[in-house]
């Protein structure tokens, strides 16, 4: 069993809380960041651009992805260009389709060939990976974000799908596969084992990295001690 420093996969932190992002930034194991409008809404962000510029001032030297939120492809393009201009470490995040299911392929092809770094997100099928890979060929460096956690939520094993996704982009220099939306620390180990380039996870999962390879007997004892101490602290009596 590997320890966290032995992992080959890049660890990205997913979130929109500034304090937590800066805590993750101080961890040398965290090599990049992702966020999205849903996470920003949960964090109470009111001014999208102001938040992004504030974070980029604090984190100027690791990749950060910010997502467009328009539904019209023309406006998506405008927003992507604006986001990309915020800094050299920024990837403009484009959803695989708009809300009516129209694919973003033409937009991806146009932007990547103009040198704009992208993060194609909300991908769940190999057909989508295959189509995006075709669009990214010959373009700028990019991330392909496959939501392995959501695949698992449907009862499907994401590992074979993620392995096949790696094969689809294997001959694309500068294009990296992200294992997105992991549900537990085991997913980090699974993603690392198949050679996935990146996994992006919430701080709750990343904070468990210290337990990788932990002795199970010791972990058992610590669990018993936790139950005992919590019962005493609560003043329980029978």
Decide if pLDDT at 48 tops 90. yes
Q: What is the pLDDT of residues 212-229, one digit of tens each?
A: 999 999 999 999 999 999
Closest CA to 93 of 61, 115, 116, 60: 116
Cut 0.75: pTM above it? yes
Q: Looking at residues 183-204, what average pLDDT do you find? A: 97
* 13, 118, 125, 158, 216 from 207: Cα distances, Å: 10, 27, 29, 23, 18
Local confidence band at 130 (pLDDT 50, 70, 90 cut-offs): very high
Active site residue 42: no
Computed over every residue of the chain, the mean pLDDT equals: 97
Decide if pLDDT at 35 tops 80. yes
CA distance 203 to 12: 10
Q: What percent of the chain has a predicted confidence (pLDDT) above 90? A: 98
Q: What is the pLDDT of residues 85-119, one digit of tens each?
A: 999 999 999 999 999 999 999 999 999 999 999 99
Q: What percent of the chain has a predicted confidence (pLDDT) above 70? A: 100
Closest CA to 7 of 175, 219, 187: 187
Decide if pLDDT at 1 tops 80. no
Domains of the chain: 4-211 (3.20.20.70)
Local confidence band at 3 (pLDDT 50, 70, 90 cut-offs): confident
The one catalytic residue in 93, 117, 207, 214 is 93
Q: What is the pLDDT of residues 143-181, one digit of tens each?
A: 999 999 999 999 999 999 999 999 999 999 999 999 999
Give the per-residue pLDDT at 172: 98
Give the per-residue pLDDT at 113: 98
Q: What is the largest CA-CA distance in the chain?
A: 71
């Amino acid at each position: 069993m590997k320890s966290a420093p032995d992992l080959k996969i890049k660890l990205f932190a997913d979130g929109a809380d500034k304090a937590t992002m800066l805590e993750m930034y101080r961890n040398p194991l965290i090599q990049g960041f992702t966020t999205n409008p849903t996470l920003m809404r949960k964090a109470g962000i009111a001014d999208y651009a102001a938040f992004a510029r504030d974070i980029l001032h604090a984190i100027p030297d690791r990749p950060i992805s910010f997502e467009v939120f328009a539904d019209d492809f023309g406006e998506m393009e405008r927003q992507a260009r604006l986001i990309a201009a915020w800094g050299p470490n920024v990837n403009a995040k484009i959803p695989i389709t708009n809300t009516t299911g129209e694919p973003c392929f033409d937009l991806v092809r146009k932007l990547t060939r103009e040198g704009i770094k992208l993060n194609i997100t909300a991908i769940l099928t190999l057909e989508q990976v295959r189509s995006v890979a075709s669009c990214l060929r010959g373009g700028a460096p990019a991330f392909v974000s496959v939501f392995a956690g959501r695949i698992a939520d449907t009862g499907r094993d994401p590992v074979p799908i993620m392995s096949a996704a790696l094969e689809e982009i294997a001959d694309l220099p500068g294009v990296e596969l992200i294992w997105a939306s992991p549900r537990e620390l085991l997913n980090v180990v699974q993603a690392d084992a198949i050679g996935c380039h990146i996994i992006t996870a919430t701080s709750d999962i990343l904070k468990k990295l210290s337990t990788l390879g932990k002795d199970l007997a010791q972990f058992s004892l610590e669990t018993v001690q936790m139950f005992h101490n919590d019962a005493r602290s609560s003043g329980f009596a029978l």
